[in-house]
Structure 1
């Protein structure tokens, strides 16, 4: 089963694109290393305090995919510099 999540976030403390990239790089690296989920910034690359991630996981069953995705989203929520504003899921 393939689960895709689109996550829109606000980066409160970013005062430049460089600061925003620093925050996003920590999150992306951590998710890729800890959960082996594909993640990329999908939109708002030119805005300081806004971003959209695309996350994809593949598993043999829905329960495993959902559990892994929820763990990755909890990790995003654990970073105080960023707030998850809107999340949508899609089964492919």
Structure 2
């Protein structure tokens, strides 16, 4: 089962693209190191305080895929610099 989660977020404290990239790099590196997930910024690369991330995982069953993605989303939520606004799931 392939699960894709598209996540839109706001980064309130970012006053430059450099600050935004610093926050995102920290989150992306942590998720890639801790979970079996591919993650990338997919939209709003030129905006300071907004981003869209896509997370993708592949597993042999649906429950495992959902659990891993939800753990990664909880990690994103644990960062005080970023707020997750919308999340859309898609099964492939």
TM-score greater than 0.5 by the shorter chain: yes
What runs of 5+ residues in structure 2 fail to find an aligned partner?
Answer: none
Corresponding residue for residue 58 of structure 2: 58
Corresponding residue for residue 45 of structure 1: 45
Structure 2 CA distance, aligned partners of 1:84 and 1:56? 17
Map Cα deviations across residues 17-51 of structure 1 (whole Å, 9 max, x no partner).
00000000000000000002000000000000000
Structure 2 CA distance, aligned partners of 1:9 and 1:65? 21
Structure 2 CA distance, aligned partners of 1:29 and 1:36? 12
| 2:14–2:49 CA contact under 8 A, matched in 1 | yes
Structure 2 CA distance, aligned partners of 1:26 and 1:55? 15
Corresponding residue for residue 5 of structure 2: 5
Corresponding residue for residue 16 of structure 2: 16
Q: CA RMSD in A?
A: 0.3
Which TM-score applies when normalising by structure 1?
0.99
Number of paired residues?
Answer: 92
Structure 2 CA distance, aligned partners of 1:36 and 1:19? 26
